[in-house]
Structure 1
Amino acid sequence: MKGLLLRLSSLDADAAAAVRVIAHFQALLGAGRLDPAALVRSAAGLAECPVGVELAGGRVFRAGPDGAALAGPPGRVSGDAALRPAGRVWLERPGAAGPFDELVVEWLAIAAHTLEHPLRVADPALVEVALAGRESVADRARALRLLGLAPEPPLRVLLFAAAEGDDAEVAALALLGRGGVAGTSRVARLGGLGVALVQNRAAAGGSPAAELRAAVRGRLRVGVGGAGEALRARVSLEQAALALRFAVAGPPAEAVVDHDELGPVAVLAELPAARLAALPDVRRLAELAARDGGELNVAALAAFCRTGSLRQAAAELHLHHSSVAARLAHVQAATGWRLRDPAHRFRAQLALYARRLALTPGDPGDPGDPGDPFRGGEAAGGGLTTRAPGPAR
């Protein structure tokens, strides 16, 4: 982050200021447990105007840019955002909104979410130990406790792949905060990916996939592992890595993939990428995608296979249904599939899955230990990397 700030400051003052806003809140999220009074003081100093946070139950905290607590009702609210499941955050700027107020409000809401659902930047070395396959049970338990997690309750691993040039750790923090994911979350950057350990002690705590899909933005891909014993978080990591291979930057339903939802389709990932790419149906899709407008036709096919409805696919792609119908006609002419036939549609969906897996081969890891993608990599976090997301497919 510091290196990025230095590069941006010499190129674009606005970009550098935006990164400083993110870095400010990232530092807060990495500094330990945050309290509401400290959050509003810090944010007011950054925004140079009064800031307020209202939490569930009606508790209100306000501070001025000098750090002094403010009493009474808010002044003129120049920007605000709702919190989930209740509450809000706001800026009180008497004049026009500042150029980065929207960004400040978004990250203020993310930080406020952590007041009741702890979301923190974690030491990547501890995360690596907690997820390692070679470390002893005692070492993994100690790493979990140092991360503020418990070895006993179930834990779930999430992997985040950002577009080239974006910071996967920042993207993970933003998405978890925007999505209002319940439980305790620890986020780190390992290799080229963002990694989150999510632990929800509530018996009803389920997959956060729905919340993440509702909040995902941009060209971010997310793989969600299953919940399991915290001391065996490695299993959830491997599931998340597999799910990430099925994810496609684009529609939320495809950008966030939950391993538990894949079912038997996950078995496709066990086949070598070269064998998948050589399948006749996959080759037909590749040839179709290589034509002018071909990737758009493949995106229409994916939306139609997923929804089973021309109008729903059109709504998802923000197109008129006649445009989607025309694209599907090109697909049918190129492949011979009759997409109104459930059997042909199922075949097309399998071909789409196989093509994704062929384009995002499994992580190579260390040749001496192919089961450990954290070894032999580009950073202290190791070599857990993934191919940058290509066009929607």
Structure 2
Amino acid sequence: MKGLLLRLSAVDAGAEAAVRVIAYFDALVERGATPAELVRATAALAECPAGLDRPDGEPLRFRPDGSPAGEVAATGSVEIGPGAGRVWLAREGGPGPLDDLVLERLAISARLLAHRHRRTPAPDLADPGLVELVLAEREAPEDRARALRLLGLDGDVPVRALAVSADGDPGAAAVALVTRGRRLRAARVAVIGDRAAMLLQPRESAASVVSDLRAALEEQARERRAAPAVLVGVGSPVRGLEARTSWKQAKLALRFATQDDPIIDHHELGSIALLGELPPERLRVQPDVVALSALPATDLAALEALCRTGSLRKAAALLHLHHSSVADRLAHVENELGWRLDEPQDRFRARFALLARRLSGR
């Protein structure tokens, strides 16, 4: 199959796939996406190059990974409006079954957003600079309050920050993820370094954000038949002017995320979050971390499986090995490190050291 749209159509050739596509573009319009963000998000959704040709500006062309695209042959296009340009997709092998719908919604979204930007001379509601200002350490409260207003965020409604990393464009990955969940009061995103920062204000309880994200990621994994290469850290709900506190928590939580546990809520970490505040270079030289790093990969995998499952037989099942093979590897670990893994204190030490080793690389 050629991409996400084909996979959607395989799930449901009619209403379900169409509703998801429409909801995707509705969310982009609701958050006030810029033309570049709109085209980039469309390319990520369609998993093929997408473009916007404008009579009064440079054409916008992006690949699915968010990088600029060169000249390509369009396999489908739609006019935005009289004299307003056109949008297009360039799919290898010809148009997909949902490409017409995507182009229609892309054209409508481009028209709505263009009208909004012409009507509002104030800074763009999705301006990454405004998001960064809200999250900045040294900006005055009045400047951050003004940025919140310009972003359309309600200062009286709790906001939660997300830190998102992904293969390709983390901003597009963040948008694709949140548009699968319940409708939000507001969602604003900016790419900061190699991560996306997203500010969310749910329509309902802020407590639903993490469960909604996990459900959305599971749904995405089922559609793609593989674990999405997306990791997310979630900060606690805070007042809008304290969004930077939630952002710090989200960045810290992201350090704990793995492909096996890709969405981490800072609140759920509890006291373990303190370990994430230590700099990686300090963790790397900790004697237990150094000792673990010297173990063979097979022994390390056995130890991680034991600490994750809590029993030898479950660890063997997780690794698809006979329990005697796992027992031999764990015996080698005990000999090398001087631990007794059947003792609660040493088992806790092993789990703590494994976590410290993971964080030392981030």
1:228 maps to 2:235: no
Question: Structure 1 residues 321 and 221, CA, compared in 2 at 3 Å: closer, same or farther?
Answer: farther
* 2:23–2:179 contact (8 Å) kept in structure 1: no
Q: Could you tell me how far 1:274 is from its partner in structure 2?
A: 2.7
C-alpha distance in 1 between matches for 2:99 and 2:311: 37
C-alpha distance in 1 between matches for 2:172 and 2:355: 28
Q: Could you tell me how far 1:126 is from its partner in structure 2?
A: 1.5
Task: Specify the alignment match of 1:274 in structure 2.
Answer: 281
Which runs of structure 2 are paired with 1:197-208 in the superposition (5 Å)? 197-202=199-204, 204-206=205-207, 208=209
Which runs of structure 2 are paired with 1:276-291 in the superposition (5 Å)? 276-288=283-295, 291=296
Task: Specify the alignment match of 1:209 in structure 2.
Answer: 210
Question: Structure 1 residues 267 and 32, CA, compared in 2 at 3 Å: closer, same or farther?
Answer: closer
* 2:206–2:237 contact (8 Å) kept in structure 1: no
C-alpha distance in 2 between matches for 1:314 and 1:229: 47
TM-score between both structures, scaled by the size of structure 2: 0.59
Which runs of structure 2 are paired with 1:1-393 in the superposition (5 Å)? 29-32=27-30, 100-101=96-97, 122-163=126-167, 166-180=168-182, 184-202=186-204, 204-206=205-207, 208-214=209-215, 215=217, 217-248=227-258, 250-251=259-260, 253=261, 255-288=262-295, 291=296, 294=297, 297-310=299-312, 317=318, 319=320, 322=323, 328-329=330-331, 331-360=333-362
* 2:232–2:254 contact (8 Å) kept in structure 1: yes
Q: Could you tell me how far 1:105 is from its partner in structure 2?
A: 9.8
Q: Which residue identity lines up with residue 211 of structure 2 in the other structure?
A: A
Task: Specify the alignment match of 2:86 in structure 1.
Answer: none
Q: Which residue identity lines up with residue 237 of structure 2 in the other structure?
A: A
C-alpha distance in 2 between matches for 1:205 and 1:260: 13
* 2:302–2:329 contact (8 Å) kept in structure 1: yes
* 2:233–2:253 contact (8 Å) kept in structure 1: yes
* 1:25–1:107 contact (8 Å) kept in structure 2: no
Question: Structure 1 residues 33 and 228, CA, compared in 2 at 3 Å: closer, same or farther?
Answer: closer
C-alpha distance in 1 between matches for 2:30 and 2:350: 49
* 2:184–2:203 contact (8 Å) kept in structure 1: no
* 1:158–1:195 contact (8 Å) kept in structure 2: yes
Q: Could you tell me how far 1:300 is from its partner in structure 2?
A: 4.6
Question: Structure 1 residues 310 and 101, CA, compared in 2 at 3 Å: closer, same or farther?
Answer: farther
1:70-105 Cα deviation digits (max 9, x unpaired): xxxxxxxxxxxxxxxxxxxxxxxxxxxx88558999
Q: Which residue identity lines up with residue 262 of structure 1 in the other structure?
A: L
Q: Could you tell me how far 1:235 is from its partner in structure 2?
A: 0.5
Q: Which residue identity lines up with residue 212 of structure 2 in the other structure?
A: E
* 2:235–2:265 contact (8 Å) kept in structure 1: yes
Instruction: Give the secondary structure class of the aligned counterpart of 2:179.
Output: helix
Q: Could you tell me how far 1:170 is from its partner in structure 2?
A: 1.5
Give the paired residue count.
Answer: 264
Percent of aligned pairs with the same amino acid: 46
* 1:277–1:355 contact (8 Å) kept in structure 2: yes
C-alpha distance in 2 between matches for 1:309 and 1:106: 49
Question: Structure 1 residues 185 and 33, CA, compared in 2 at 3 Å: closer, same or farther?
Answer: closer
Q: Could you tell me how far 1:197 is from its partner in structure 2?
A: 0.7
Question: Structure 1 residues 126 and 359, CA, compared in 2 at 3 Å: closer, same or farther?
Answer: same
TM-score between both structures, scaled by the size of structure 1: 0.55
Question: Structure 1 residues 303 and 195, CA, compared in 2 at 3 Å: closer, same or farther?
Answer: farther
* 1:303–1:313 contact (8 Å) kept in structure 2: yes
* 2:31–2:186 contact (8 Å) kept in structure 1: no
Q: Which residue identity lines up with residue 232 of structure 1 in the other structure?
A: E
Q: Could you tell me how far 1:305 is from its partner in structure 2?
A: 2.1
Instruction: Give the secondary structure class of the aligned counterpart of 1:144.
Output: helix
Compare the two structures and name the one with the higher helix fraction: 2
Question: Structure 1 residues 327 and 143, CA, compared in 2 at 3 Å: closer, same or farther?
Answer: farther
1:325-364 Cα deviation digits (max 9, x unpaired): 665455445434333433222111111221122211xxxx
Root-mean-square deviation (CA, aligned residues, Å) is 4.4
C-alpha distance in 1 between matches for 2:350 and 2:281: 19
C-alpha distance in 2 between matches for 1:233 and 1:280: 37
1:174-205 Cα deviation digits (max 9, x unpaired): 22234557653222222211111111353x43
